[in-house]
């Protein structure tokens, strides 16, 4: 929460990522401002997750630069990547909770690994995080296999927030949740973003969460960011793919707002 | 930037004023814990407390919680605690942390250690009974599936069966040959070394021949197959169970036992006798080479003595056991695979259990066969 520093949480310049000869991300540039919720949309298999995983250093890039909180990110497993790890939390699509640990131990894991603190305090912090994401303390004793889909996402979010990172990456946070749970989760992300001053980078297909929680939306097509801006600016975009995305049958619910 | 955290306490007529300063963030947790522990006695002694947050430069959940803990400590003693000077952008965080950890979790019930142990033994006994039930259940459904196949031979999954035979049989040959060759060579070497002391080194041929054909050939191969193919069966079926593939099969009206388990078990039953035979031959060959180079016995003499020493009965005794061992390995591996629950840990545990249990049962079965063959005079 250092307001006085760089205005961008993430800066990506001319990034190229590919598998074999096929470039999935092609000369992509993207800025994520501090304290905003950026939604990233794109076709399935179009490289959204690849972009996210490249930023967090899981996929090696071919060229380009990535800066997170003003520090350059190296390749996979590099020292700079590991140093940056304390600055971000990641919510994977399936939660990626450690199945041999209880929910509370999952949240404590990053604390235990990177800090020196008493067990009592660690329990209190883990309970606090679990409550902040809307779970009861009793849920902390459950194992991941005993949690429902929505609870898994909440525990995974609590774990991502364990070290109070400046940035959280969310990979399809509302996929597989019913509309009520998805709405709750959106509200939760918004609240936490406000209270903790988070920057949120969210890959999603959920038009409702794009519309309600995202400050800005970026559209990824053909390996590039073809449109970025507030929702209403994207709705007016002339790019054919963006038009198809936001003006398809499933996007009709967005239209009345757009006409206001 | 991150600065060292501070906490100054000044007491003025009944009001203790605490001024936390610097970075109250997770990275400084060691200092923060010390600081807040250090003022704890003062908090207990004092009356009302004012927490002035004006000097705090950075705050996160952990720091906010420590501050909240201090004010709760004061309030639980019946005094007032006020938090003042909170910067606007931290107000939400302080407010949020104020709501957490309100419900005190009930202490874990104390567990009598002796009773606990007795309980564990009881549960393990029940577990063993369940193991037997599961084994018999799968044996039964295999028989039913087999009857179905006999009635309608076309319902046998031939492609799958051939593929499994290729995997557990053909692909296992190199390692089986290597290991049994070495075992045969080692037995021959030990035999020659010790028998030579009383001039009986030519009897090493009898020992190698009978030991390998009756017992070791099939036992070693069965143990290796349990470790190599049994574990693979458990892991495959377990991960299919985890990803609901087996449920998908059932909903399509197919019997998982017939589609998945029967071809695997039949493949093992076909492959294990063949592997035992190949393994026995490799072991005898290893014995022959050692007897030749280490014991100075010509191969022709070795073969002639072997011809006298072993009869076809010894070979039969060994090879008859192989299909039964294969059945046991197959059933244990598949039933453990079906018992995998949702987590990756459970998959690992069932795979280990599968290997341990099938090796144990193979050895027990070998003992039972020994008693049986002895009593019928084979």
Domain spans of chain A, in order of start: 8-259
* A118 → chain B, closest CA residue: B33
Q: Report CB contact under 8 Å: A1, B89.
A: yes
Residues in chain B closer than 8 A to A196 (CB atoms): 60-61, 93
Beta strands in chain B (DSSP E): 6-12, 15-24, 48-52, 55-59, 81-84
Model pLDDT, residue A260: 44
DSSP for B24-55 reads ESGGGHHHHHHHHHHHHHHHHH-SEEEEE-TE
The structure tokens listed for B154 are 């076309």
Q: How far is B36 from chain A (nearest CA, A)?
A: 11
Mean pLDDT of A101-124: 81
> Mind telling me how many Å the CA of B47 is from chain A's nearest CA?
25
The predicted pLDDT at position A2 comes to 44
Q: Flag if A117 and B101 touch (Cβ within 8 Å).
A: no
Which region holds residue A73: left if phi is over 0, alpha if psi is between -120 and 50, else beta? Answer: beta
User: Residue A194: which of B92, B103, B344 has the nearest Cβ?
Assistant: B92
- Chain B residues in contact with A157 (beta carbon < 8 A): none
Q: Does B59 contact chain A (CB < 8 Å)?
A: yes
B33 touches chain A (CB under 8 A): yes
Residues 82-141 of B with CB under 8 A from A: 89, 92-93, 95-97, 99-101, 103, 105
- The closest CB to that of B25, out of A3, A143, A164, belongs to A164
pLDDT in tens, A37-66: 888 888 877 788 888 888 877 777 788 888
Among the partner-chain residues A128, A136, A163, the one whose CB lies closest to the CB of B97 is: A128
Compute the nearest-CA separation of A254 from chain B (Å). 31
- What pTM was computed for the model? 0.68
- Asked if the Cβ–Cβ distance from A145 to B29 is below 8 Å, we say no
Q: CB burial class (10 A; 0-12, 13-18, 19+) of residue A64?
A: middle
**pLDDT at residue A1, rounded to an integer:** 43
Share of chain A above pLDDT 90, in %: 0
**Residue B65 and residue A124: Cβ atoms within 8 Å?**
yes
- For chains A and B, count residue pairs whose Cβ atoms are closer than 8 Å: 80
User: Which of A86, A128, A163 faces B101 most closely, judged by CB atoms?
Assistant: A128
Contacts of A137 in chain B (CB under 8 A): 101, 103, 105
Domain boundaries, chain B: 6-99, 121-375
Please judge whether A115 and B97 are an interchain contact, meaning their C-beta atoms are less than 8 angstroms apart: no
| CATH code assigned to A8-259 | 3.40.50.300
Residue A4 pLDDT exceeds 70: no
B243 in contact with chain A, both atoms CB, cutoff 8 A: no
Residues of B in contact with A125 (CB under 8 A): 61-62, 65
Asked if A161's CB is within 8 angstroms of B69's CB, the reply is: no
Q: What is the 3-state secondary structure (H, E, C) of A220-252?
A: EECCEEEEEECHHHHHCCCCHHHHHHHCCHHHH
- List chain A residues with CB under 8 Å of B53: none
Option in B30, B95, B101 nearest A116 (CB):
B30
Of B59, B93, B101, Cβ closest to residue A127: B101
Fold of B6-99: Transcription Regulator spoIIAA (3.30.750)
Chain B residues 306-345 with a CB less than 8 Å from chain A? 341-345
Contacts of residue B105 in chain A, CB cutoff 8 Å? Answer: 127, 137-138
- B303 vs A189 pLDDT, higher one: B303
Using the beta-carbon criterion (under 8 Å), do A195 and B96 form an inter-chain contact? Answer: yes
Closest-CA distance, A200 to chain B, in angstroms, reads 17
Q: Report DSSP letters for B74-125, one per residue.
A: HHHTT--EEEE---HHHHHHHHHHHHTT-SPPPPPPP--HHHHHHHHHHHHH
Rounded Cα distance between B333 and B233, Å, is 6
In a structure prediction context, what are the per-residue pLDDT tens digits for chain B, which is 378 residues long? 567 777 777 777 777 777 887 788 777 777 888 887 887 777 777 777 777 877 777 778 788 888 888 888 777 777 777 877 777 777 777 777 777 777 665 566 677 888 889 999 999 999 889 989 999 999 999 999 999 889 988 888 889 999 999 999 999 999 999 999 999 999 999 999 999 998 888 889 999 999 999 999 999 999 999 999 999 999 999 999 888 888 888 888 888 898 899 999 999 999 999 999 999 999 999 999 999 999 899 999 999 999 998 989 999 999 999 999 999 999 999 999 999 887 777 899 999 999 999 999 999 999 999 999 999 987
Cα distance between residue B79 and residue B307, in whole Å: 99
> Among A53, A44, A69, A32, which residue's Cα sits nearest to residue A214?
A32
Task: Kindly state whether B29 is in contact with chain A, defined as any CB-CB distance less than 8 angstroms.
Answer: yes
Contact B100 A128 (CB under 8 A): yes
Chain B contact set for A124 (CB, 8 A):
65, 69, 101
Question: Rounded to 5 degrees, what are φ and ψ at A173?
Answer: -65, -30
- CB nearest B343 (choices: A3, A145, A161): A145
* A124 pLDDT above the threshold of 90: no
Indicate the SS3 state at residue B57: strand
């Amino acid at each position: 929460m250092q307001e006085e520093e760089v205005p961008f949480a993430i800066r990506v310049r001319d990034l190229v990522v590919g598998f074999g000869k096929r470039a999935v991300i092609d000369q992509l540039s993207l800025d994520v401002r501090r304290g905003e919720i950026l939604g990233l949309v794109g076709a399935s298999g179009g490289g959204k997750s690849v972009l996210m995983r490249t930023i967090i250093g899981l996929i090696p890039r071919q060229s380009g630069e990535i800066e997170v909180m003003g520090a350059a990110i190296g390749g996979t497993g590099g020292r700079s990547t590991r140093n940056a790890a304390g600055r971000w939390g990641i919510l994977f699509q399936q939660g990626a909770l450690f199945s041999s640990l209880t929910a509370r131990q999952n949240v404590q894991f990053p604390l235990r690994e990177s800090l020196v603190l008493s067990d009592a305090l660690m329990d209190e912090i883990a309970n606090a995080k679990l409550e902040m994401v809307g779970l009861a303390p009793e849920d902390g004793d459950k194992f991941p296999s005993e949690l429902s889909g929505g609870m898994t996402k909440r525990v995974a979010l609590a774990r991502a927030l364990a070290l109070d990172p400046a940035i959280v990456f969310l990979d399809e946070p509302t996929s597989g949740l019913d509309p009520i749970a998805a709405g709750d989760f959106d509200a939760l992300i918004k609240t936490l973003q406000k209270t903790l001053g988070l920057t949120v980078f969210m890959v999603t297909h959920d038009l409702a969460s794009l519309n309600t929680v995202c400050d800005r939306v970026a559209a990824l097509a053909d390996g590039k960011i073809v449109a970025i801006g507030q929702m209403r600016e994207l709705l007016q975009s002339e790019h054919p793919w963006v038009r198809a995305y936001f003006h398809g049958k499933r996007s009709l619910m967005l239209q009345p707002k757009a006409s206001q | 930037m991150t600065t060292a955290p501070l906490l100054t306490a000044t007491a003025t007529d009944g009001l203790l004023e605490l001024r936390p300063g610097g970075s109250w963030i997770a990275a400084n947790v060691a200092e923060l814990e010390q600081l807040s522990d250090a003022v704890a006695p003062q908090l207990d002694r004092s009356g009302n407390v004012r927490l002035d947050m004006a000097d705090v430069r950075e705050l996160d959940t952990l720091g906010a919680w420590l501050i909240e803990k201090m004010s709760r400590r004061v309030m639980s003693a019946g005094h007032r605690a006020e938090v003042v000077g909170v910067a606007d952008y931290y107000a939400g965080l302080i407010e949020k942390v104020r709501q957490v950890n309100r419900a005190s979790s009930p202490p874990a019930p104390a567990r009598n250690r002796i009773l606990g142990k007795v309980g564990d033994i009881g549960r393990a006994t029940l577990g063993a009974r369940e193991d037997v039930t599961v084994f018999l259940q799968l044996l039964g459904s295999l028989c039913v599936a087999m009857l179905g196949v006999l009635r309608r031979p076309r319902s046998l999954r031939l492609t799958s069966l051939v593929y499994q035979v290729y995997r557990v049989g053909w692909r296992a040959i190199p390692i089986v040959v290597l290991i049994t060759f070495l075992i045969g060579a080692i037995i021959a070497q030990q035999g020659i070394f010790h028998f030579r002391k009383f001039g009986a080194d030519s009897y090493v041929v009898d020992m190698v021949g009978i030991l390998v054909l009756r017992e070791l050939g099939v036992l070693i191969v069965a143990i290796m197959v349990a470790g190599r193919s049994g574990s693979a069966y458990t892991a495959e079926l377990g991960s299919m169970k985890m990803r609901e593939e087996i449920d998908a099969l059932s909903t399509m009206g197919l019997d998982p036992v017939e589609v998945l388990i029967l071809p695997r078990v039949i493949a093992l039953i076909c492959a294990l006798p063949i592997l035992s035979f190949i393994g026995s031959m490799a072991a005898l060959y290893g014995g022959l080479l050692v007897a030749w180079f280490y014991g100075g016995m010509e191969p022709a003499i070795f073969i002639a003595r072997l011809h006298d020493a072993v009869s076809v009965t010894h070979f039969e005794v060994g090879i008859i056991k192989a299909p039964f061992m294969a059945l046991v390995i197959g059933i244990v591996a598949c039933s453990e695979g079906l018992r995998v629950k949702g987590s990756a840990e459970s998959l690992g545990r069932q795979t280990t259990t599968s290997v341990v249990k099938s090796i144990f049962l193979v050895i027990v079965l070998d003992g039972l066969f020994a008693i049986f063959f002895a009593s019928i005079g084979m």
